Amino acid sequence: MLGVSYDLYAEVTEALCYVAELSSISCEAGWTVNPVKETCIKLWPSSGNRDAAVFNCQSVEASLLMLNTEEVYEWYQTLVASDPSWSHELWLGATKVGSEWKWDNGDSLDMSRFESGRPNNSGTCLIMRTTFVWYDNTCSPGFRRHVCEK
């Protein structure tokens, strides 16, 4: 404001680095610290169906990303804002069990970012668009990437 300009990208990157420094965890090469959950995450290429994404995460002793709190959801948005290479449609670590949506760890979805009109019983898998809204769909192959978290 008032003629003062700033570089949002640099500001967000600096904030992410600062928060990561405060975290007590370090991640192996190729993984990124999630300081909110104190976990490590990694973006993987298209996996085909959700089962393949789950299998891939399990092979590195991880699970699909669970954006299960507002803080984690907002942190992920900040990560994507600072590094657009993370901006992809993703399989999330939640599925519909009976009539209820649950995270893969068994917890119910206490917060929801479903887009308008969703869920609409299109499927039992949870997907996040590049706009950060969620939608239900089949677990069939698609051009979706996935993030593993451990």
Instruction: Judge whether residue 20 has pLDDT over 80.
Output: no
Q: Which has the higher per-residue pLDDT, 21 or 27?
A: 27
Rounded Cα gap, residues 80 and 72, in angstroms = 12
Considering the domain boundaries, does residue 112 fall inside one? yes
Rounded Cα gap, residues 49 and 81, in angstroms = 27
% of the chain beyond a pLDDT of 70: 85
What CATH number is associated with residue 102?
A: 3.10.100.10
pLDDT tens digits, one per residue of 110-127: 888 999 999 999 999 999
User: What is the span of the domain harbouring residue 108?
Assistant: 44-149
Instruction: Judge whether residue 13 has pLDDT over 80.
Output: no
Considering the domain boundaries, does residue 52 fall inside one? yes
Considering the domain boundaries, does residue 28 fall inside one? no
Strand partners, 78: none
Considering the domain boundaries, does residue 18 fall inside one? no
Considering the domain boundaries, does residue 11 fall inside one? no
Q: How many domains does the chain have?
A: 1
